Amino acid sequence: MGGKKSIKVYLPTKGTGSLPFEGVAMPVAATLIKVNFLPDVLPNNIDQDGEFKLSIQVAGPTVALHGVVKQIVNDRQLVLEVTEAYEHPQKREHFRIDVDLPVRYWRHVEDDNGRPEILQSPSERVNLSGGGIFFVAEFNPAIGQQLGLELSVPGPPRTVVRCVGRVVRSTPRGEKHWGVALHFTDIEDEDQEVVISYCFSEQRRQLRTKVDVVGR
């Protein structure tokens, strides 16, 4: 990891799921990272039994780090213990899987000071990857239109991912619904890692379910 690096880390909290925080990280041992935060940033409900997640660039590739909050030093400093680390090359973002996921969406306009109309997808069945999503919408967006998204990604802990995507396809689904394919154009690296990790964990779960059914 080298010296100090500015990071965004998703910390597990009690009752409010996984929340993002920005800090400065510095390794202190092979699997330990000390992270400093600004005053009055850290919540008082950090869950030391939960899992943190962060992504960081190390000499080129992006490395995903998962682990636990080993020590709450004070209200500005944590010690994180890494239990899993792996590189995720760009092609991983294209892995797709069908899952049930609550989706809220809205028309995205740059520098719009107004409050957008936020809609809930009438179906939670989506096709998801780290690079985009196919979901059911209640209006027919134009190709190239930007939509804001809020995805409630199951955990543990459940994580809310907000991002922006460009419409690449829209097809009718009955009289009042459309199937919309989006390519993510504005998504935080950490949020993308949450989505990618969920896709792979859900694939493993679905494969285990199929094996159990076949074995009966």
As a whole number, the mean pLDDT across the chain is 86
Tokens encoding 70: 């080993």
Q: Which of 4-8, 55-59, 91-95 has the lowest mean pLDDT?
A: 91-95
**What is the mean predicted confidence (pLDDT) over 142-149?**
94
Tokens encoding 26: 């510095």
| Number of other CB atoms surrounding residue 149 within 10 Å | 21
Cα separation, 183 vs 147, whole angstroms: 10
Q: How far is CA 137 from each of CA 49, 104, 105, 131, 165, rounded to the nearest angstrom?
A: 38, 9, 8, 19, 14
Closest CA to 10 of 42, 40, 54: 54
- Phi and psi for 187 in degrees, rounded to 5? -145, 135
Express each pLDDT in 183-194 by its tens digit: 999 999 889 888
Cα separation, 103 vs 153, whole angstroms: 9
The reported pLDDT for the residue numbered 111 is 57
Cα separation, 214 vs 20, whole angstroms: 40
Tokens encoding 68: 């636990």
Which domains does the chain carry? Answer: 5-87 (2.30.110.70), 92-215 (2.40.10.220)
Express each pLDDT in 11-23 by its tens digit: 999 988 889 899 9
DSSP-based three-state secondary structure for 2: coil
Express each pLDDT in 84-113 by its tens digit: 876 655 455 567 889 999 999 999 876 556
Q: Per the omega criterion (within 30 degrees of 0), is the bond before 122 cis?
A: no
**What is the mean predicted confidence (pLDDT) over 123-138?**
93
- Confidence class for position 213, pLDDT limits 50, 70, 90: very low
58 has a pLDDT exceeding 70: no
DSSP-based three-state secondary structure for 199: helix
